[in-house]
Chain A
Amino acid sequence: MAADRRVVYMNARLLDPASGRDERGALLTVGGKIWDLGAELFADGITDGSQVVDCKGMCLAPGFIDMQVFLGESVESTAKAASAGGVTAIAAMPNMNPVIDRASLVDYVERLAHEVSVRIHPVAAATKGLGGEEMTEIGLLREAGALAFTDGRQAIADSQVMRRILTYAQAHDALVIQHAEDPSLARGGVMNEGEMATRLGLPGIPGVAEVILIERDLRLVALTGCRYHVGLVTTAAAVEAVRRAKAAGLPVTCGTAPHYFALNELAVAEYRTFAHTSPPLRTEEDRRAVVAGIADGTIDVIVSSHDPHDVESKRLPFDLAASGVIGLETILPIALELLHGGHVPLMRLLAALTARPAEILGIPGGRLSKGGPADLVLFDPDTPWRVEPEKFHSKAKNSPFEGRPVQGRIVRTVLSGRTVYQAG
């Protein structure tokens, strides 16, 4: 691709949560950058021989940034799934084989991104081998390019270990991401504790397992001043705890995933292993609180928590099946359910998918600004379709939304000025 290639996106509804821009206009990319944009741009229709993409009035927004993706299958298929979902950058969780806990492995993850259609930002392990005991070389990992530190699917459970990590990470301005689930309260549990678990005879995980760990961490954040992010907030109590911490001025942010605001524990009925997640799907009351948290900004980001599992690890009795769902290819339409239901405005949803994750991770992109990376997504928020995982680019098909009628379709995904996905 020529470095000076010019592409004009005409007749677009330009949506930029960072600036609040929502207007009809055009956007010009030159090479891998956004050159200019606005209502007046090319208003006379003369585009000087640039390649022209007619957006037909559809939404043109910054490419989505997904803060929590597990690279459980080939990077190529994950990247294709990301592009098809409008995602142009992902934060890769360290739960890989080998665990990303050394600087050389951070390089390895970054190199994985060279040949594929998505930016991959490595998140490193907070403890060596995810063992929960010894902290990793946070400074060296940070220098190597790790954006944040987490034990991924596991909580950093030990209070002393957590305190030291937060203390040390603060000096390197590193972000610590917690999987907020008290492991001793969750031990043996496979779904949310309550009537449903009792009827199904499945061991439950109490909702308080989440807020207990968050409340502890918040005390340690107050003590250390470290930037702290809860990966997935799923309960009403946790949303409230983060809300209060933010009001108190603590450097706290949090995320959630579509299954926590689109589904509740009833999805586990008939032992559906595709609804086996960690943390588990919660009560309807919790689900509503998560929606409210997104609406008022308490919940900063929406992540897919994309976690591929093959059929063999899901075709088992519920308690023996792997937990985790895929979500890259459904993140937009499920998020848009909150728009169509009148719960969250479009700009707020897009902020949670673009500007906020970019700010929290400290990466460029996530906004439509002159000179910024030309990572874009063109979508129509209304197109109805039905979720059919067998048509997904992801090799794994473990979507909890199979068969669900949804609205909102990705039409085109642009990475660094180049179209990497176009709806067929």
Chain B
Amino acid sequence: MTRTDGIRHLLGIEGMKPQEIDALLDLGDSYLERYRAGKKIKKVLKNRTQINLFFEESTRTSTSFELAGKRLGANVINMVTSTSSIKKGETLIDTAMTLNAMRPSVLVIRHSSSGAAALLSQKVNCAVINAGDGRHEHPTQALLDALTIRRRKGRIAGLTVAICGDIMHSRVARSNIHLLNAMGARVRVVAPPTLLPAAIDRLGVDVFHDMRSGLEEADIVMMLRLQNERMNGAFVPSPREYFHFYGLDEEKLALARPDAMIMHPGPMNRGVEIDTEVADDIHRSAIREQVETGVAIRMACLDTLCRDLEAEEDD
């Protein structure tokens, strides 16, 4: 976590200490358990305002953050680009300053530019959570993936994780690589060379262009979404060719460990990066569980960041 003027932000996983990550995972885990057991959840965000500032459409992530905030008692305000003044030429910083004047406790931001959350954090005096900035990071996704893995496998250290698909354009991949490495997993990336960013091996991963060898003995198979416009010859020749070489089907999956778990940040392109039957195999796929874990981990992040903040003024 980054700190500016004594306020903590969650801008990215890179640079986070394993202890910090563990603490968030433990807290997320306990929120998940309490919620499942129907226990009362302390409204630690009572009288606090959380603004979800989304410059990119995302129903899943914004809903998850909204739910997390509300379960902790926060007043949650959702702002999406179409209703904001960004389109009238107001800059990101102007918008941030305006919102800052409303004195919220937390700003949750998603933006198409890498570094947007970091820029925002320098200009406001509330906690900032990065809900995805360009191709850079999506830290809460990596944390929820880690919690899902830990709950299923009992550990992260020593596991072999294969991240497959569009690594180049993926903030989810980057955050997961940083987190899994910090926690002692062995990370592989599996993708066609055109979808791998330069020098990705320098982030501490083994690179595979052949999915079969990339999945061998893997404990976790983490699939990434490939956007349609990238499959028409720009990065890969066609969806058909992509599925043939990089789509997750029973045959390729058979090379992974028998108890291998399948993950996907959603939304899925069935028949492009993942076979429908594989995606729906309740025993191997953690895809639905990831959604539930997501709310719990975001509660943990909101709770943690708001702890050191001064109380908002009551009116």
Contact = CB atoms under 8 A, between A and B. Distances in A.
A200 interface: yes
Given A201-B134, A201-B171, A271-B119, A312 B113 contact: no
Nearest to A317: B113
A312 B91 contact: yes
B14 interface: yes
B92 A271 contact: no
B135 interface: yes
Interface string B90-122: 011100000000000000000101111011000
A270 B12 CA distance: 12
Contacts of A201: 114-115, 133-137, 171, 174
24 contacts: A195-B198, A197-B197, A198-B174, A198-B198, A198-B199, A198-B200, A199-B14, A200-B114, A201-B135, A201-B137, A203-B135, A204-B197, A206-B198, A270-B115, A271-B119, A315-B93, A316-B93, A316-B119, A317-B111, A317-B115, A317-B116, A318-B113, A319-B134, A320-B113
What 9 A-B pairs are tightest by C-beta distance, nearest first? A201-B136, A317-B113, A271-B115, A201-B135, A201-B114, A195-B199, A198-B197, A195-B202, A317-B116
* Most chain A C-beta atoms within 10 Å of own C-beta, residue among B93, B199, B202: B199
A202 interface: yes
Given A201-B171, A316-B92, A194 B199 contact: yes
Given A201-B135, A201-B136, A201-B171, A317 B198 contact: no
A201 B13 CA distance: 13
Contact of A198 (B91, B92, B203): B203
Interface in B110-157: 111, 113-116, 118-119, 133-137
In this complex, the member of B92, B135, B171 whose beta carbon has the largest number of chain A beta carbons within 10 angstroms is: B135
A47 to B, nearest CB: 58
A193 interface: yes
Chain B interface size, as a band, is 20 to 34
A319 B174 CA distance: 18
A320 to B, nearest CB: 6
Contact of B91 (A206, A270, A315, A318): A315
A194 B92 CA distance: 27
- Most B-side CB within 10 Å, residue of A202, A270, A312: A202
Interface of B: 14, 91-93, 111, 113-116, 118-119, 133-137, 171, 174, 197-200, 202-203
Contacts of A203: 135
Nearest to B135: A201
Interface in A306-321: 312, 315-320
A271 B197 CA distance: 18
A137 B197 CA distance: 44
B14, B118, B136, B197, most chain A CB atoms within 10 A: B197
Interface string A294-330: 0000000000000000001001111110000000000
Interface residues of A, number: 21
A316 B91 contact: yes
Interface in A177-233: 193-195, 197-204, 206
A271 B114 contact: yes
B115 A199 contact: no
Given A201-B133, A201-B171, A271 B118 contact: yes
A203 B169 CA distance: 9
Contacts of B171: 201
Interface in A124-140: none
Nearest to B175: A201
Chain B CB count within 10 A is highest, among A194, A195, A204, A317, for A317
A202 B135 contact: yes
Contacts of A202: 114-115, 134-136
